[in-house]
């Protein structure tokens, strides 16, 4: 009798994402606690400690963001409006990209995942920084932005708007495109992608079909 279990690759990928983020939080939290103890001990501030604190804050913010974007989702899970706003503000606080989270209220974790993946894809087109807004229009998700320069990798974006023409998989640094395509397929949703090269602007709209 063959009692082996087969798990969907998409599910395993999300579980791996959650596991990595979960295990990274503990050592990062330990470093954060050590920094607080140094401050309480009266140790003088130095450029070196400031650099460590800045890098630590960035790492913690990115782990929180990635856990939502790439981690597993259980039925009934929700994220509060405050938590979502905090994650967005922390991960983009020191960068060249200004992100406006124009969404009110708590969200099912699956919806937050969609929004974070859209944002993670959109930012790749604005490498020199700019402004991005993530909002909802009824049940649709919309991400629009404008920057100093628009850079569009047609092969990557074809994963979203022309999936049949896309390669088997993107590079690891751009896995968000494949993950967003996967989420759209799961939900039976479509993505409309538009670029305005003259004005260095872009927009993504995710609609349930």
Per residue in 39-80, pLDDT (tens digit) is 788 777 788 778 888 888 888 889 999 999 999 998 889 999
- Same topology between domain 9-72 and domain 93-209: no
Crossing angle of the two packed helices 175-187 and 154-161, in degrees rounded to 10: 10
Cα–Cα distance measured from residue 64 to residue 71, given in angstroms and rounded to the nearest whole number: 10
Q: What is the rounded average pLDDT of the residues 126-144?
A: 95
Give pLDDT, residue 39: 78
Cα–Cα distance measured from residue 184 to residue 163, given in angstroms and rounded to the nearest whole number: 11
Domain covering 93-209 in this structure, CATH number: 3.30.565.10
| Whole-number average pLDDT of the chain | 87
Residue spans per domain, the chain: 9-72, 93-209
* Tokens at 197, concatenated: 């090269």
Instruction: Please list the residues that pair with 201 across neighbouring strands.
Output: 146, 196
Q: Which are the contacts of 95, defined by CB distance < 8 A and separation ≥ 6?
A: 129
pTM: 0.86
What DSSP character marks residue 166?
S
Give pLDDT, residue 1: 44
Domain covering 9-72 in this structure, CATH number: 1.10.287
DSSP 175-206: HHHHHHHHHHHHHTEEEEEEEETTTTEEEEEE
């Amino acid at each position: 009798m063959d009692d082996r279990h087969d798990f969907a690759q998409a599910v395993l990928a999300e579980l791996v994402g959650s596991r990595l983020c979960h295990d990274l939080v503990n050592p990062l939290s330990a470093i954060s606690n050590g920094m607080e103890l140094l401050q309480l001990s009266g140790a003088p501030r130095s450029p070196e400690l400031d650099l460590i604190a800045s890098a630590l804050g960035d790492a913690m913010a990115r782990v929180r963001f990635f856990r939502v974007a790439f981690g597993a989702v259980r039925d009934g899970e929700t994220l509060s409006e405050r938590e979502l706003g905090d994650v967005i503000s922390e991960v983009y606080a020191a960068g060249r990209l200004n992100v406006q989270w124009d969404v009110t209220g708590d969200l099912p974790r699956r919806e937050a995942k969609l929004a974070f993946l859209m944002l993670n894809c959109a930012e790749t087109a604005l490498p020199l920084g700019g402004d991005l807004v993530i909002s909802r229009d009824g049940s649709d998700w919309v991400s629009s932005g404008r920057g100093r320069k628009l850079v569009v990798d047609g092969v990557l974006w074809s994963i979203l708007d022309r999936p049949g023409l896309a390669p088997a998989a993107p590079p690891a640094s751009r896995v968000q495109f494949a993950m967003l395509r996967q989420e759209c397929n799961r939900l039976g949703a479509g993505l409309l992608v538009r670029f305005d090269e003259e004005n260095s602007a872009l927009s993504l709209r995710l609609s349930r079909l």
